[in-house]
Amino acid sequence: MSISAKISRFHFPRDKEGIAIRIIWLFHLCAMVGVTLGFFDFFIQKTILNLSVSFSLLVWVFPINSSKKILAASLCFLVGMVVEYLGVNYGFLFGEYSYGLNLGPKIQGVPWLIGINWAMLIFITGAISNKFKISKYAKVIIGAFLMILLDFLMEASAPVFDFWEFKGGDVPLQNYVSWFLISLGLHGAFQFLEVKGDFRFCLNLYLCQIIFFSYFFLYNSL
């Protein structure tokens, strides 16, 4: 068998969706293994890179390439930044908390990557909810619940990873209530604008984060 024939058996992805999916799994799984093996600082400090790559791939694969999609992403980013600003500086909506160092540069105490993350999470949970043959109102609710599930898992690891931490160490109920209500509003806008995008990539990115934070939810509880 020729070398080229042997290489072809590995079925390297030629489509951008396949390439992007493999990249996000590689990043998340490497971080899980690396932190577990003791390289905590090295991998957690690469969170900025991980989020930046994930969002860039979303823009490429979703794709975010029309005025309507750019409007939706900008709205999610701006709303995310504003509500986080109110939370960090006034204890409004989520409770009293502050951001650490591992999410990068901040604007008035809020990492700009948090606004990017709000947009990314709304888009991927919105794409997942769009897969269901149900009303737009039901899709909005499903999208918001997907957001809450991920937030619940993230909260356990956020202080350990120096992402953010609530005063006193306990996550208040109002954090989840506010997350849900804000997510409802943003998913309402997502559905109103009828944003459509790549389902498989969005599902894989969501599952990457669910598995990543579920693993460390259990790991940090031991």
For residues 40, 46, 48 and 52, what is the CA-based torsion angle, rounded to 10 degrees?
-130
Share of the chain above pLDDT 90, in %: 91
| Farthest CA pair distance, the chain | 68
In the predicted structure, residue 43 carries a pLDDT above the cut 60: yes
What's the CA gap between 50 and 43, in Å, rounded? Answer: 10
The percent of residues in the chain predicted with pLDDT above 70, rounded, is 94
Side-chain half-sphere of 22: how many Cα atoms within 13 Å?
9
Strand 164-166, strand 97-99: pairing: antiparallel
Q: Check whether 15 has a pLDDT greater than 80.
A: yes
Give the pLDDT confidence of 120-175 residue by residue, as tens digits.
999 999 999 999 999 999 999 999 999 999 999 999 999 999 999 999 999 999 99
φ/ψ of 106, rounded to 5, equals -120, 155
The band of 221, judged by pLDDT with boundaries at 50, 70 and 90, is: confident
Q: How is residue 186 written in tokens?
A: 């943003």
Tokens representing 194 are 């009828």
Phi and psi at 98, nearest 5°, equal -145, 155
Question: What is the rounded distance in angstroms from the CA atom of residue 189 to the CA atom of residue 176?
Answer: 20
Nearest-angstrom CA–CA distance, 20 and 204: 10
H-helix segments, the chain = 3-8, 16-36, 40-44, 47-61, 67-90, 112-130, 136-157, 173-192, 199-219
How far apart are the C-alpha atoms of 164 and 146, rounded to whole Å?
A: 21
CB 68 within 8 A of CB 195: yes
